[in-house]
Amino acid sequence: MNRRDVAELAGSTGLGTWTAFAVLAMSVVAGAGQPLWPDPALLAWAVGHRPEIMRALARGVTATGTGAIPYVLVALAGALVGRTVRQRLLAVAFGLACLATGQALRYGVMELLHRPRPPQEAWTAHASGWAFPSGHSTTAALTAGLLILALTLRAPRGGTALRVAVGCWGLTVGLTRVYLGVHWFTDVVGGWLLAAGWLGVCVCAAAYWLPKAFRTEPADSEPEDGTPQDPGREGGSRPA
């Protein structure tokens, strides 16, 4: 896939998810921050299905979506992508910058909208700040997206199971926030959409800033201008 294809795909994906995020955010504002239609039922289900072992498991999973762990994973993803020291450093810097700025953007939106969290009697984990969009969900989704991108660039024809596992982890971290009672489901969806939109912006920019890192076409494919890579083939006769 050449850089133009990558940029167009990332840009269209980012535009679609930003649109969906804007619609959801406007719905939250229109409702004065109150839960939207799926939120009360899903929170009630979570409160009614929380044995101690599941609460402990959910706390363990949710802890992987914040703090140093996402940054370590993103740095490892950058190191995996690069083939030289310079490429690795650039990829690590790109990943960390994407994650950090995405978190800052999420914080700004959260402070702007001031959506309250669910009632504290439903909480089974510590939480602070406003609710929308969910910070753990945003961070884990961004981290998972960057890891999936790194795995795809490193092994474009393999590693499907690992990419699916990484994606499931990113989604599960968000779902634990609802299960633990500290977020409405639409907070989590907002985090996923914001992460996807921001990742689209970052990848679209990187497709031009780091073009070689995003070229995964086979070595024997023709360049974009259609000029054959092997000049010796020009004028050669085809085998009988």
The DSSP H or E segment spanning 159 is none
Q: Which residue has the tokens 């981290």?
A: 143
Q: Look at 127 and 217; give whichever has higher pLDDT.
A: 127
Any residues with CB less than 8 A from the CB of 198 and at least 6 apart, and which? 14, 98, 101, 102, 105, 142
Report the alpha-carbon distance of residue 58 to residue 146 in Å, rounded: 23
Give per-residue pLDDT as tens, 21-52.
Answer: 999 999 999 999 999 999 999 999 999 999 99
Q: What pTM does this model have?
A: 0.85
Domains and CATH numbers, the chain: 3-209 (1.20.144)
Residue 233 has pLDDT above 50, yes or no: no
pLDDT at 212: 54
Among 19, 18, 24, CA closest to 38: 24
Going by pLDDT thresholds of 50, 70 and 90, the confidence category of residue 83 is confident
Classify 238 as helix, strand or coil: coil
User: Per the structure block, which two tokens stand in for 218?
Assistant: 């086979």
Report the alpha-carbon distance of residue 61 to residue 125 in Å, rounded: 12
Contact by Cβ (8 Å): 229, 176: no
Output helix, strand, coil percentages for the chain, rounded to the nearest 5.
70, 0, 30
Going by pLDDT thresholds of 50, 70 and 90, the confidence category of residue 87 is confident
User: Per the structure block, which two tokens stand in for 4?
Assistant: 């133009």
Q: Look at 100 and 240; give whichever has higher pLDDT.
A: 100
Any residues with CB less than 8 A from the CB of 34 and at least 6 apart, and which? none
Lowest mean pLDDT among 15-24, 72-81, 219-228: 219-228
Rg, the chain, Cα only = 21
Contact by Cβ (8 Å): 4, 155: no
Q: Look at 222 and 32; give whichever has higher pLDDT.
A: 32
pLDDT at 191: 98
Give per-residue pLDDT as tens, 165-215.
Answer: 999 999 999 999 999 999 999 999 999 999 999 999 999 888 877 655 444
Report the alpha-carbon distance of residue 186 to residue 118 in Å, rounded: 11
Report the alpha-carbon distance of residue 102 to residue 109 in Å, rounded: 11
pLDDT at 102: 97
